[in-house]
Amino acid sequence: MTKIVGVMASERIVAGLVEGNQVMGPVRVYPEPGSSSEGLYGVPAEEIGELVRRQIELVTGGAAVEAVGIGFAGIIRDGRIEESPNLQQTKGFYLQGALGNAFQRVLVLNDADAMAAGIAATHGKLESLVRVWTLGDGVGYGRYPQAEGVWEGGHIVVTLDPKDKFCGCGGVGHLEGIVGHAAMRRRFLDMEPDEVFAEAKAGDARCASFVRLWHRALAAATATSIHLDGAGKFYLTGPNARFVDVERLNVDLHDMVRMSPLQGSLFEVVPTSDEIAIIGAAVSADRARFSL
Ligand SMILES: [Zn+2]
């Protein structure tokens, strides 16, 4: 069976060997669990490339592999990191080129796209359109199959309120500026996001109104995706998927999408998993192998 290495690099690196849509053997994690390291924040781009190469070699033990797929947080084009809001030092870094000497075939893709491919592969949906929102510090939008374009869905404008400027990219009115963890901390300087959601449940009016906005923002960006790309299944993952009330989200979405051919979209929460992401990066590299 084809052996491919899948890697995800965001605030940390995870890597594993993938065979037949399954991770074989242990998953490598950098920095190792329990380490006091800050992960990749502030690590120079070339050094990140080197760390990725080392994780891949630890996974393969030096044996040859058919391809390497790397999901990376940011806008990726032709193997180059054009922008990475959370790892800004990597802007312009040609990661695919930096690894091209060490491995035969390397594909670098957006981390949320890798996640979408992983969900497609592990849910038997490799022939369907799969979209995923990754809810963490930022908000990622992944699409499988990968399509030409930028697809920065986390920065879809969901409000015209000029005061809504909490997005890390600096843009006004963005989805991530409402839904992203870092943005919620900027909005509620006196409360952590977990407290905001707990207080909303306990009846606090300000928190409850924000939780309504939070769901409507996610529904609005999903509605935009449906109006551009059609109805379908939307998966929600990442650490903050735990805040999602799927029922409320479906009601909000229903209000926002009324044309009959666009009805019938659904949300599903998928537990955050390094393995699904690794499988997705590997499957994408495998599928790209024939067109590289
Ligand atoms: Zn933004």
Which tens digits make up the pLDDT trace of 111-165? Answer: 999 999 999 999 999 899 999 999 999 999 999 998 888 889 999 999 999 999 9
**Domain 128-269: top CATH class:** alpha beta
Cis ω on the peptide bond leading into residue 31 (within 30° of 0)? yes
Amino acid at 214: W
Q: What is the pLDDT of residue 59?
A: 94
DSSP 102-114: TSS-EEEEEHHHH
- What is d(CA 215, CA 179) in angstroms, rounded to the nearest whole number? 8
For residues 95 and 140, give the distance between their C-alpha atoms in angstroms, rounded to a whole number. 20
**Could you tell me the CA-to-CA distances from 172 to 32, 85, 211 in Å, in that order?**
37, 15, 19
**202: how many CB neighbours lie within 10 A of its CB?**
10
* Distance, CA of 281 to CA of 289 (rounded, Å): 12
Which residues in the chain show pLDDT less than 50?
Answer: 292
| 169 Cα–ligand 1 center, Å | 4
- If you measure from the C-alpha of residue 60 to the centroid of ligand 1, how many angstroms do you get, rounded to a whole number? 37
Place of tokens 């990726």: 76
Candidates 3.40.50.11750, 3.30.70.20, 3.10.180.10, 3.30.420.40; CATH matching 4-120+273-288:
3.30.420.40
pLDDT at 65: 87
Angle, vertex CA 112, rays to CA 110 and CA 113, nearest 5: 65
**Residues 139, 96: Cα–Cα separation, whole Å:** 24
My answer on whether omega of the bond before 33 falls inside 30° of 0, hence cis, is no
Whole-number Å distance, alpha carbon 170 to ligand 1 midpoint, is: 6
Domains 4-120+273-288 and 128-269 share a fold: yes
What per-residue confidence (pLDDT) applies to 160? 98
Q: Residue 252: exposed, middle, or buried by beta-carbon count in 10 A (0-12, 13-18, 19+)? A: buried
Q: How far apart are CA 237 and CA 137, in angstroms?
A: 12
Q: State pTM to two decimals.
A: 0.92
What pLDDT, on a 0 to 100 scale, did the predictor assign at position 290? 63
Inter-axis angle of helices 193-202 and 205-229, nearest 10: 110
Query: What are the sequence ranges of the domains in the chain?
Result: 4-120+273-288, 128-269
Nearest one of 3, 151, 17, 162 to 76, comparing CA atoms: 151
Q: What is the pLDDT of residue 104?
A: 83
Q: How far is the CA of 2 from the centre of ligand 1 (A)?
A: 39
Distance, CA 86 to ligand 1 centroid (Å)? 12
Distance from the alpha carbon of residue 25 to the mean position of ligand 1, in angstroms: 38
Is residue 39 within 8 A of residue 12, CB to CB? The reply is: yes
